[in-house]
Amino acid sequence: MDISRRGRRSRHLTFRTCGTLLVTAGLLITGCSSGSSTAGASMTSLSHAVPAELAPYYGQKLSWHACGVPGFQCASMKVPLDYAKPGGGDIKLAVARKQATKKSGRLGSLLVNPGGPGGSAIGYLQSYAALGYPAEVRARYDMVAVDPRGVARSEPVTCLDGKRMDAYTQTDMTPDDERETEAVRTAFKEFAAGCRAHSAKVLPHVSTVEAARDMDVLRAALGDDKLSYVGASYGTFLGATYAGLYPERVGRLVLDGAMDPALPARRMNQDQTAGFETAFQSFAKDCVTRDEECPLGTESPQDAGKRLKAFFAELDRKPLAVGGSDRRLGEALATTGVIAAMYDEAGWPQLRDALTSAMKNKDGSGLLALSDGYYERDGDGKYANLMFANAAVNCLDLPPAFDSPADVRKALPDFEKASPVFGEGLAWSSLNCAYWPVRATGGPHRIEAKGAAPIVVAGTTRDPATPYRWARALASQLSSGRLLTYDGDGHTAYGRGSDCVDSTINAYLLKGTAPEDGKRCS
């Protein structure tokens, strides 16, 4: 299983993580360039003036051309590989846009990012945002996306081929003895070695700080004085980082499904583990009321959790066959499949069906399909870049949660308390960055963004991947943060069916009317 430390947007993009199942939530660097940081410090903003050595990047003109999906335009943008050494080489970032549908009343560009880290912002724009965002928002903004460095179309990090990734995603994350523990360690080492072998040039330069600096170059290239932005999940950390670096250039920022940059990796992963447990309890509470439709029984959510854990243990001993394939469904892939469905309650019926097929009919194809979607594995056995970029960003942004298997074992009681169902596997997944070939350049820190215009921070009370407490924490750190609470299930709030949330964010994006801090919606 592989759920990395960062949250991923689930509705309009499949989610992911970084370890073997946990979207690891590593955070960033304090200060303005790749370098060491002090835990607990506050991020320092950059100078208002553009340094002379960066002027060619800020002054570049984007050459737009038709691409792929009708109505979209694409371009490439140059940025320095290393902002500390702007003359040391460039990398190209892919940019896409869909222009505002009205010529009058245009408000500028609205940059969007779906999270990850590792999610393709261009893919998100073309598949959802440019069509699914409210018509009045699309009418007045050019909808814009850039794939961050190391992601998808922008100098993508690559690590393992399809066969080796298949083996990696099946690694047993609940080791029973030293042999299985060594297998976990070996899997993480081989993954890291693959990334180093195939992506040595870009690997030290995919931090969130560098991606945020790229966003400011894009802002200038688009001709906008200030940045307007909607970021979901990890995208909130990217947006908050931008605000911390360039508070005077903040336009209208929406940070939906927020992360807390002040947390170290272990606490981040433990909080996320508790978030998945909360989401599972909501699923189980619904499931047990459905009589024969619920494969986990009809007694109580707690009993449903025990049944699921027992099923995982059974798969650990004897993986299930998958019809029409030579693949097997073991505990790791099954756990990933269940967690994938936790991001959105709309996925609960599919999960019930998949669990019924696996538990009653011994057919693992439904859970395997959920897992493959999470990992972005296609029918030919090829994996998208998402999991590679996810690990690369996370392991650069924060020091590892654990340094050794012994550290994981000591922490197991805390993780299993956070989630009796998922705790053990997510604890072991948190070991992945211990073997990363590039030393972390970031650390836990506060982001205050003093002087920034009002920033809307949205949090969902039962969010599995970015627990609600993180939204409260980020809103309290930001000097101009306005907390918007959605009392509900699933990952993120905007565009999930709450008229209250949507109208509040739309009013902010279109009129600049920020909600009162602490507003609640359902």
Q: How far apart are CA 218 and CA 279, in angstroms?
A: 37
3-state SS track over 327-376: CEECHHHHHHHHHHHHHCHHHHHHHHHHHHHHHHHCCCHHHHHHHHHHHC
Contact at 8 Å (CB) between 20 and 187?
A: yes
Place of tokens 């290239």: 221
- Of 214, 216, 260, 463, the catalytic one is 463
Q: Give me the residue label for tokens 């012994």.
A: 406
Is 207 known to be catalytic? no
Report the largest interatomic distance among the alpha carbons of the chain, rounded to a whole angstrom.
69
Contact predicate 394/6, CB 8 Å: yes
Q: Which residue has the tokens 């047993």?
A: 172
Which tokens in the block code for residue 425? 């596997």
- Is 12 among the residues known to form the active site? no
- Pair of tokens at residue 188: 């993480």
Spatial neighbors of 325 by CB under 8 A, at least 6 apart, are 365, 368
Q: What span, in angstroms and rounded, lies between the C-alpha atoms of 197 and 225?
A: 40
CB 388 within 8 A of CB 203: no
Token match 């931090």: residue?
207
Distances in whole angstroms, Cα of residue 367 to Cα of each of 181, 278, 338, 357, 376: 25, 20, 7, 9, 14
Catalytic annotation, pick one of 34, 45, 199, 233: 233
Torsion of CA 66, 124, 448, 49, to 10 degrees: -10
Q: Which of 224, 264, 261 is nearest to 244 (CA)?
A: 261
* Ramachandran class of 325: left when φ > 0, alpha when ψ lies in -120 to 50, beta otherwise: beta
Q: Does 65 qualify as catalytic in the annotation?
A: no
Are the beta carbons of 445 and 334 closer than 8 angstroms? no
Of the residues 419, 430, 491, 502, only one is catalytic, namely 491
CB within 8 Å of 341: residues ≥ 6 apart: 283, 347, 348, 350, 351, 354, 370
Residues carrying an active site annotation: 233, 463, 491
